[in-house]
Amino acid sequence: MKNERAAGTTLHETPGLTPHTAGGQRSATSSPDVPDVLGVRSRARRSALVLACLAAAALLSLLICLGIGPVPISPTTTAQVIGHHLGLPTPAAGEASIDAIVWDVRLPRVLMGAAVGACLAISGAALQAMVRNMLADPYILGVSGGASTGAAAAILFGVGAAFGQYAQSLLAFVGALGAALLVFFIARAGGRVTSLRLLLSGVAVGYALTAVTNLLIFSSDSAEGSRSVMFWMLGSLSLARWNAFLLIAALAAALGVLGMVSGARVLDALSAGDEIAHGLGISPDRARIGFLLMVSLCTAAAVAGAGAIGFVGLVIPHLARRLVGARHRVLIPASALLGSLFLLWADAFARVVMQPRELPIGVITAAIGAPFLLLLVRRLYSRHG
């Protein structure tokens, strides 16, 4: 009885976890006949409004970013091109070149940017809950190192040449998943997949695979190939086309959001601590394995489609928490929408800032993310003295 009383006290002190939510019952404060003393309904309305605004901003940004580039195109024209290809009763855009730029080049690119931003953002939010570390990032699992090794092998030595234009992305995807599996088996070697084992395994595997990638670059005689690998490692959406990898990234983002929202209660419990999770009848080890699989698939899909774009999974979840709070049922979709917005505008800036050359998008995200990381570290130290 003493343990149950202590667990109940902790639940009241943990955001997003109450005895009512733990038992799957409706809280009395959610009834329209009861005054909203705790502000539950007002917070829910505010979160719904924020999500609606973010969704509208993402759709509008997608339409605007289609027109940004060396050849400026108005939003009206881009909407006409898209409507024409979708069979809607809209007038044709006019010039065939404009139609090709919008539909064949820019639309796959912005869709890939939105999907990759969502994948990285929700992966960061879930990982920070899994390991209870506000500085956790999807690439801490070594996925980026594995993808870079696979892409370098394809670019420099022609591995997977039988797959043609898909070889680079396919090898990157296989390398990313292989790295995630390696991290999982190392973390589970001791019997339990704890937060510390997961972090240390990911860091070790990431460093080892980065060393392998550097060795491949050093061993290659192709200066052009080495530049291509370095450009890919900094991240770019220039390879986005209407192909399977765009579909994989979009599906990973959609299924990742659905899966993590359905497991939001488990993420709330993991972020509160293993003791709280056990008190709610949740196995932390089993939960981490399931979310590790989701995070690995989302990150692998993002890296295969756009290269190693850093800081999105670190920065965006913290911004989303400032907007909607720490409950993962709302935090996950907010992170997905914010991640899409962030990467859409970062890519638009990358296309025009150094015309006619294109700036790697990873440079922009790092330039924004590094100061944010310093602010996080300063805030952490000031809070803990």
Average pLDDT, the chain: 84
What tens digit of pLDDT does each residue of 101-131 get? Answer: 999 999 999 999 999 999 999 999 999 998 8
Strand, helix or coil for residue 272: helix
How many whole angstroms separate alpha carbon 231 and alpha carbon 348? Answer: 17
In this structure, what token pair is assigned to residue 173?
A: 């995807």
- Residues in the chain, overall count: 385
- The pTM for the full model equals 0.84
Q: What is the pLDDT of residue 28?
A: 44
The answer, yes or no, to whether the previous bond of 356 is cis (omega within 30 of 0) is yes
User: Above 80 in pLDDT, residue 13?
Assistant: no
Q: Which CATH number fits domain 2-10+116-384: 3.30.300.30, 1.10.3470.10, 3.40.190.80, 3.40.50.620?
A: 1.10.3470.10
In this structure, what token pair is assigned to residue 28?
A: 């009395």
Residue with tokens 């000031």: 382
Q: What is the pLDDT of residue 305?
A: 86
Question: ∠315-316-318 over CA atoms, to 5°?
Answer: 75
User: Above 70 in pLDDT, residue 87?
Assistant: yes
Segments making up each domain of the chain, as ranges: 2-10+116-384
Which residue from 245, 233, 360, 238 is spatially nearest to 305, judged by alpha carbons? 245
pLDDT band at 195 (very low <50, low <70, confident <90, very high): confident
User: Above 70 in pLDDT, residue 220?
Assistant: yes
Q: Residue 255, class by beta-carbon neighbours within 10 Å (0-12 exposed, 13-18 middle, 19+ buried)?
A: middle
Residue 325's contacts (CB-CB under 8 Å, 6 or more residues apart) are 15, 16, 43, 47, 331
CB atoms within 10 A of CB 14: 16
